[in-house]
Amino acid sequence: MIFSEMLSFDDIKKEPFIIQNIRWELQPKDLMEPKYTTTGEGVKVREPIKGYVFYIDTTDEKPMLFLMRHTAVDYAETLAQINEIPQEMLRGAVEENKAGVYFNMYPINKSVEGWLKRELGIKE
């Protein structure tokens, strides 16, 4: 990990670069897809993914919201754990996105996205 410790939500709020480069459309599964796949037409190369992605982890008893940084060379690291979000909101996202689970990682839903955007001061 490049950072010596996890960032707080307040740290993220103070980093315009992170906020401007959040990839709201990506899901954990998108990040784990192979870079190269063989198709009937030859080798298909996945577009580079870089930016910041929120995801919900359910490895522990309760769901937790995290922010991951992903680079164009497929390096990823979890930067922050967001403890300020209401648990019932995370549980709702997990329930809604059961089909999108990937190694105990769930995508966020529109409710969580809206909460994050409000807290980060992002205008839609």
Question: d(Cα 69, Cα 50) in Å, to the nearest integer?
Answer: 8
**Predicted structure pTM score:** 0.86
The SS3 of residue 3 is: coil
pLDDT at 121: 95
pLDDT at 1: 44
SS in 3 state form for 105-124? EECCCHHHHHHHHHHHCCCC
Q: Which residues contact 27 (CB under 8 A, 6 or more apart)?
A: 53, 55, 100, 102, 107
- Going from N- to C-terminal start, the domains of the chain cover 9-33+49-120
pLDDT at 4: 63
Q: Which residues of the chain have pLDDT under 70?
A: 1-4
Helix (H) / strand (E) containing 97: none
pLDDT at 124: 72
Strands 76-82 and 64-70: antiparallel
pLDDT at 7: 93
